[in-house]
């Protein structure tokens, strides 16, 4: 089921200060996809989710789920949460500690006064789906973090919602379990074929889980795209920086040819993808990700995007080293293979393919 959000605004007043938690958000969340709202803490993700669910009332705008308007200021429509056909998984799971697994999952059905046999069937189906069949009588307090998360998922699914919404559901799990659960969740959601709206501040979670990602900043959506597009070729400097590690080099567009443009920077000319069709003379930044920079001890031949610099630091991070190379005033962070024989202080060459770096307009506030 598609969700359409039009001109959604939600203001808070706190200590005499106006906070625009949502600032005229326009957004279409496509049906039957995993759609993620990604952004730093405080950018309005939870507020947007709670408005869709109906736990929060916006100030302006409209929310349409499928072909039903569930909230509209202008038309004076408010459909209460329980009639919106949605399931939600909260950050804290909100599992009832005094209930066992069965009672927790059955809760959305028993509050609707559904017949006992039907409840039993539906709970069994939901628990089987999250692979917790056999856990019915287990007290909620005797579950691991990962199991609690799955109980919360089963409870969100038990009433067969049209849309399921998640607010940072993995943030209470430790790193290893988070990775496993992320894969599991992707598997569950893909199998379900329902619309999933997923909120997180974790870029890796967003990239790994989503069909589409919307990046939010200060109450607004700044960019929407599939994970690869926003990672490899974002049109926004904030997004490029937020979604992955980025080397950003500022300069001015010198010339364009086909897919590429050349940017004049303090360390010389650099060629990169120019998907934004930035015109010659405009201020721009080049973004190159650490994993696309090759490092060599010896000077490499002539060509685009080759620089000589000094290895300022080399830090072991397990699967690789992270190297900082200074070229003039510019510092490049690169991923360095653990097999390479170099040491801090060495002169090195770096190079990167013009197809693996991209040009961005420079934001007015930077």
Contacts with ligand ADP, residue ranges (CB under 6 A): 12, 14, 19, 21, 39, 41-47
SS (H, E, C) 325-338: EEECCEEEEEEECC
Measure Cα distances from 231 to 196, 204, 286 in Å: 21, 11, 14
* Residue 99 touches which member of Mg ion, ligand ADP, none, C-beta under 5-8 Å by kind: none
Instruction: Residue 274: name its binding partner from Mg ion, ligand ADP, none (Cβ under 5 to 8 Å by kind).
Output: none
| CB of residue 340 to ligand ADP, shortest distance in Å | 40
Q: How far is the CB of 42 from Mg ion (least distance, A)?
A: 8
- DSSP string across 112-157: TT--HHHHHHHHHHHHHHTT-TT-TTSBGGGS-HHHHHHHHHHHHH
- Angstrom distances, CA of residue 136 to CA of 102, 108, 123, 314: 5, 16, 9, 52
Q: Give the shortest CB-149-to-Mg ion separation in angstroms.
A: 17
Alpha carbon 120 to its chain centroid, in Å, reads 36
CB of 42 to ligand ADP, least distance (A): 4
Residue 50 C-beta: closest distance to ligand ADP, Å: 8
Round to whole Å and give the CA distance between 21 and 48. 8
Instruction: Provide the token pair at 313.
Output: 């630091």
Residue choice 8, 25, 39, 46 for contact with Mg ion (CB under 5 A): 46
Q: Select from 244, 345, 334, 333 the least CA-distant residue to 294.
A: 334
**Of residues 197 and 285, the one with the C-beta less far from Mg ion:** 197
Cα–Cα distance for residue pair 189/191, rounded to 1 Å:
5
21 makes contact, choosing from ligand ADP, Mg ion, none, with CB < 5 to 8 Å by partner type, with: ligand ADP
- Do the Cβ atoms of 157 and 191 come closer than 8 Å? no
Closer to Mg ion by Cβ: residue 42 or 66: 42
Of the candidate spans 10-18, 44-52, 97-105, 119-127, the one that interacts with Mg ion by CB under 5 A turns out to be 44-52
Specify which residues 77 forms β-bridges with. 72
Q: Which stretch binds Mg ion (CB under 5 A): 13-21, 45-53, 74-82, 203-211?
A: 45-53
Report the nearest approach of ligand ADP to the CB of residue 37 (Å): 8
Query: Measured from the CB atom, is 147 or 200 closer to ligand ADP?
Result: 200
Of the two residues 39 and 309, which places its CB atom closer to ligand ADP in the complex? 39
**Site stretch for Mg ion (CB under 5 A), options 41-49, 53-61, 187-195, 210-218:** 41-49
- How far is residue 308's CA from residue 330's CA, in Å, rounded to a whole number? 12
Query: Helix, strand or coil for residue 17?
Result: strand
Q: Smaller CB distance to Mg ion: residue 46 or 181?
A: 46
State in angstroms the smallest separation of the CB of 365 from Mg ion. Answer: 23
Two structure tokens written together for 300: 């490499």
Q: Which residues bind Mg ion (CB under 5 A)?
A: 46
């Amino acid at each position: 089921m598609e969700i359409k959000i039009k001109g959604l605004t939600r203001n808070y007043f706190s200590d005499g200060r106006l906070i625009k938690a949502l600032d005229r958000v326009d957004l279409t969340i496509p049906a039957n996809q995993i759609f993620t709202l990604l952004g730093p803490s405080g950018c309005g993700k939870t507020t947007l989710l709670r408005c869709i669910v109906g736990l929060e009332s916006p100030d302006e705008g409209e929310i349409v789920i499928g072909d039903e308007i569930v909230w509209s200021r202008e038309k004076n429509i408010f459909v209460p949460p329980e009639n919106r056909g949605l399931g939600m998984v909260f950050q804290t799971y909100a599992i009832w500690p005094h209930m066992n697994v069965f009672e927790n999952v059955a809760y959305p059905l028993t509050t609707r006064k559904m017949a006992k046999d039907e409840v039993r069937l539906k709970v069994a189906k939901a628990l089987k789906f999250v692979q917790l069949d056999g856990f019915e009588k287990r007290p909620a307090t005797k579950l691991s973090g990962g199991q609690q998360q799955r109980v919360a998922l089963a409870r969100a699914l038990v009433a067969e919602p049209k849309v399921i919404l998640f607010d940072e559901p993995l943030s209470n799990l430790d790193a290893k379990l988070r990775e496993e659960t992320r894969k599991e969740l992707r598997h569950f959601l893909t199998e379900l074929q329902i619309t999933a709206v997923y909120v997180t501040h974790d870029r890796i979670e967003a990239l790994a889980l989503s069909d589409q990602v919307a990046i939010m900043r200060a109450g607004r959506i700044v960019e929407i795209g599939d994970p690869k597009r926003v990672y490899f070729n974002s049109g926004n400097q904030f997004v490029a920086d937020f979604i992955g590690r980025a080397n950003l080099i500022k300069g001015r567009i010198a010339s364009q040819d086909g897919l590429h443009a050349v940017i004049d920077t303090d360390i010389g000319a650099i060629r990169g993808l120019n998907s934004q069709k930035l015109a010659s003379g405009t201020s721009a930044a080049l973004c190159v990700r650490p994993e696309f920079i090759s490092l060599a001890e010896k000077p490499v031949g002539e060509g685009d995007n080759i620089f000589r610099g000094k290895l300022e630091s080399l830090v072991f991070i397990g699967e690789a080293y992270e190297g900082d190379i200074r070229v003039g005033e510019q510092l490049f962070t690169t991923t360095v293979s653990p097999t390479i024989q170099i040491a801090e202080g060495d002169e090195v060459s770096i190079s990167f393919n013009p197809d693996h770096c991209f040009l961005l307009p420079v934001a007015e506030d930077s």
